[in-house]
Structure 1
């Protein structure tokens, strides 16, 4: 099934760990809207030399205080707006510092159990993959280094779909980073938290802009005391992204684009306020649903998108296909599409591991400038004559 209707550029192996209100007990209790207060036993105050702040991301906020950093996840779940608060306290002060209405995480973390390949991208951007001691859904990893560690047993691989609580408890990681979905079905993580496993919700996938999603590298940086590195790396990405965006800003001749592939009679297209739509705008494309105020997917009938496909100039991300034959095997009517006849079909599956891992869902998350360069090359090749497609490839 093509899941791009759920989130464009959405890691297909993303583990949905469902969390309910218990998680909020430590993160934001009855006084969750109050400013947390720190209590310490007359210890010397620690000042943090470097700091990070969100410029594009809307899902987190980090502030710096004496003896702790306050990390707030502003929208941890898809179906509710609530704030989870984490106090990031230096390890040698955890017995001395207590921050009200927060869940404490000792820093810097030295071992991380990741549940999404996007977490690999964050760690790679900081050259910090050595902290990763476990990976859920390791079969879908692209990174050759991570795959080697998994194969050699240097990193624990856990099956996708359900957390093995006994295995995680035996690993005793400093942090289990999960991806928030619906705020329900908490049993999978309740026993872990009761056993003193620190659990943090990472909701980068809810960001609706490419730079906002990539900026979650700053969250991991705060956990590692690597703020300076994160600022340098992200600033370079943002500068390049905005420079590329400016190259097509004034172009009037914009190709009409369709995306995704229908499933069981319905065609989910990306809403106008979605992550996908922002990429298409920034790359200088025309798109029939830019005016939609939806940040997720729009359910359309096959016939509605079919009419647009007949006149569209480009077709991108047509699901798990590698050839025109694969496309026709799904529905012979696709041969009527203009991009099928002109050969203007592109998929984001150029960098795949033998087991099916797609680098688009790893490094592509923290390198939206490279994704944007690919899309501009596809839509306006004259603007980037020397660029070679990195994540995308033409479907022949």
Structure 2
């Protein structure tokens, strides 16, 4: 009897171990795509299909969305890939499509006048990308006529009736949350989101790796700056000066450029709302002033606020703005291209403040306000 009981116990444990190994083996078939910086999405490869999980797309909501990417579409949460006809709703999506060589997949866009890319503007002129009106009140009739396989949405609020109506019409909607990433490389890594939808994941990985390498190379070069270069950022809107907080997206650029941003030690990932007097008191002697509104000249600045001329950066002509570089219809190139090319933004900051560190580099986004 004792021998039988012992044999039973041994058999039980062997079965349990086998079962555990089988579970572990099944678990190992799930492969999560390697995302180094982006926090807002994941791509999980399972047995024969992929799952796209969108973790955050709205500022004040952590609602997640899950989609099955497969070569067929059987239910509403499945997206057939590669997507061959799509509509996107933010200009930041345009360069990602173009870098992947998939600009021909774009068939419609709201507010096409904001698109700066010469390549996509040519397609608009040729009637290959259709104007769909404003993003919040898109012309759904035109959208239905285009019959896209997917709409990549962008919205500040989760309860958007427009996108609900599009989904009711049978057109899948996937929200893109690249704009909520808190690091420059995190935002750029959303090119892998489009890589998954277009079946170009290897290409997306390769493109991102090159952007990352250029960014980290520039960051390393910036360490050679041993000067205490002080910078301020932002400008007045009505009675408030919006200054990037110490843990904000743009503050990380200043940190990586090895610049002494005067509000680097503050908390928060958004903006600080300060008075003019507070900024003047702390930033009057700053060496450089970036993002001084969408002004192209010092005259425009002083027309907006005569007291801007009290800053040393104004006096010494060290003011820089993104307002000068525009597409042919007035769209700002910075807003469109910089999210996927943070390496160029970082190089701009280094070139402006320490030009000897990047002697052969030409500015991509910023210009001096004269």
1:362 aligned counterpart, secondary structure: helix
Q: Give, in whole Å, the separation in 2 of the partners of 1:293 and 1:128.
A: 40
1:168 aligned counterpart, secondary structure: helix
Aligned to 1:215: 189
Please give the TM-score of this superposition, normalised by the length of structure 2: 0.88
Q: Which residue of the other structure, out of 180, 186, 204, is the alignment partner of 2:155?
A: 180
Q: Give, in whole Å, the separation in 2 of the partners of 1:314 and 1:280.
A: 11
Corresponding position: 1:89 with 2:70: yes
Runs of 4+ in 1 over 3 A off after TM superposition: none
Aligned to 1:242: 216
1:84: how far off? 1.0
Structure number with the higher helix fraction is 2
Aligned to 1:154: 128
Alignment of 1:14-53 (within 5 A): 52-53=33-34
1:254: how far off? 3.0
Aligned to 1:64: 45
Query: Conserved in 1, the CA contact under 8 Å of 2:54 and 2:64?
Result: yes
Corresponding position: 1:381 with 2:355: yes
Give a deviation string over 1:262-321, Cα, whole Å, max 9, x none.
Answer: 111101111222110111110111112222231111111121112233111111111111
Aligned to 1:54: 35
Q: Give, in whole Å, the separation in 2 of the partners of 1:147 and 1:250.
A: 40
Query: Conserved in 2, the CA contact under 8 Å of 1:255 and 1:286?
Result: yes
Q: Give, in whole Å, the separation in 2 of the partners of 1:64 and 1:74.
A: 17
1:117 aligned counterpart, secondary structure: coil
Q: Give, in whole Å, the separation in 2 of the partners of 1:318 and 1:126.
A: 33
Aligned to 2:297: 323
1:228: how far off? 1.0
Aligned to 2:313: 339
Q: Which residue of the other structure, out of 85, 105, 108, is the alignment partner of 2:79?
A: 105
Aligned to 1:269: 243
Q: Give, in whole Å, the separation in 2 of the partners of 1:182 and 1:292.
A: 28
More moved, 196-205 vs 299-308: 299-308
Corresponding position: 1:279 with 2:253: yes
1:54: how far off? 1.1
Give a deviation string over 1:299-345, Cα, whole Å, max 9, x none.
Answer: 11121112233111111111111111111111111111100100001
1:199: how far off? 0.2
Higher radius of gyration, 1 or 2: 2
More moved, 50-59 vs 195-204: 50-59
Query: Conserved in 2, the CA contact under 8 Å of 1:125 and 1:366?
Result: no
More moved, 297-306 vs 230-239: 297-306
Q: Give, in whole Å, the separation in 2 of the partners of 1:52 and 1:130.
A: 26
Q: Give, in whole Å, the separation in 2 of the partners of 1:363 and 1:393.
A: 16
Q: Give, in whole Å, the separation in 2 of the partners of 1:253 and 1:125.
A: 37
Q: Give, in whole Å, the separation in 2 of the partners of 1:51 and 1:127.
A: 25
Aligned to 2:91: 117
Q: Which residue of the other structure, out of 166, 178, 188, is the alignment partner of 1:204?
A: 178
Q: Give, in whole Å, the separation in 2 of the partners of 1:201 and 1:324.
A: 40
Distance 1:56 1:262, change over 3 A: same
Query: Conserved in 2, the CA contact under 8 Å of 1:350 and 1:390?
Result: no
Query: Conserved in 2, the CA contact under 8 Å of 1:309 and 1:339?
Result: no
Unaligned runs of 5+ in 1: 1-46
Q: Give, in whole Å, the separation in 1 of the partners of 2:291 and 2:200.
A: 35
1:388: how far off? 1.4
Please give the TM-score of this superposition, normalised by the length of structure 1: 0.82
1:234 aligned counterpart, secondary structure: helix
2:313 aligned counterpart, secondary structure: helix
2:241 aligned counterpart, secondary structure: strand
1:73: how far off? 1.0
1:227: how far off? 0.8
Aligned to 1:189: 163
Distance 1:127 1:51, change over 3 A: farther
Q: Give, in whole Å, the separation in 1 of the partners of 2:148 and 2:103.
A: 14
More moved, 159-168 vs 368-377: 159-168
Q: Which residue of the other structure, out of 57, 61, 80, is the alignment partner of 2:61?
A: 80
RMSD: 1.9
Aligned length: 341
Q: Give, in whole Å, the separation in 2 of the partners of 1:165 and 1:308.
A: 50
